[in-house]
Amino acid sequence: MSHKALVLLVEDEKGIRNFISTVLDVNNYRVVEARDGKEALELFTSRCPDLILLDLGLPDMDGIEVLKTIRGWSGIPIIVVSARGHEREKVEALDLGADDYITKPFGTSELLARIRTAMRHQQVTVDVPERTIFSVGDLTIDFDKRLVTLNNNPVHFTPIEYKILEILTQYPGKVVTYDQIIKDIWGPYTNENQTLRVNMANIRRKIEKNPAEPKYILTEVGVGYRFVDEI
């Protein structure tokens, strides 16, 4: 018997909540519903869902705060489903670790496609076939444990930062273009160059002795980044 993925639906409007729940149920997903941020966080810890659909306009707190809290300890796929369609809101949510952003109103086919994509990406990220340990210099990445250590000391990365490391270390010694990284993390129809630069600056502050003169991740100006294969 195949596993039916559990979706945590965080939505305060009853009509929209019932509609999405019905669509998910018909398409072989299990659903648990939260009407506000507090309930969402409680259900997240107690039910351990496989994916979260998160509205931003919640009655007790902004959905962004829910996103920040969950991203503090989990890389679970989170798709924001919101009426806020301004680029600023989208960039903020994606930069804070949302896997995708859908603007209301939306079609059911689009919603289901985004869910499938997010869950596939999570599966690839978690499994990381044929790569258990990556090590260069004093830096080691244990993909099974999702643990990064520098000089044997653990280093904390946000989900987006960790994804960037995963992508770069798939091709040690080779240049990975900006466009390829952006496409793999934020999708093919986005322009997240500034967001990528911010995340890269954060990564370098955490692993480089001198971020201005990096030895692990080199910049190929105008092209992309290269994770060195030896030091």
What is the domain partition of the chain in residue ranges?
6-127, 133-227
Could you read off the pLDDT of 45-100 as tens digits, one per residue?
Answer: 888 899 999 999 999 999 999 999 998 778 889 999 998 877 788 888 888 888 88
What pLDDT does 225 receive? Answer: 95
Residue that is written with structure tokens 């971020």 in the block: 211
Tens of each residue's pLDDT in the chain, 231 residues: 346 899 999 999 999 999 999 999 999 999 999 999 999 999 998 888 999 999 999 999 999 999 999 987 788 899 999 988 777 888 888 888 888 899 888 899 989 998 988 887 665 444 444 558 899 999 999 988 889 999 999 999 988 889 999 999 988 888 888 888 888 887 765 677 888 989 999 999 999 999 999 999 999 888 899 999 888
What pLDDT does 189 receive? Answer: 59
Helix axes 193-207, 159-169, angle to 10 degrees: 80
Query: Does domain 6-127 match CATH 3.40.50.2300?
Result: yes
List residues bridging with 53 in a β-sheet: 9, 79
Cβ partners under 8 Å of residue 151, min gap 6:
138
What pLDDT does 123 receive? Answer: 59
Residue 134 region, left (φ>0) first, then alpha (ψ -120 to 50), else beta?
Answer: beta
What architecture is domain 133-227?
A: Orthogonal Bundle (1.10)
pTM: predicted TM-score of the whole model, two decimal places: 0.56
What pLDDT does 192 receive? Answer: 77
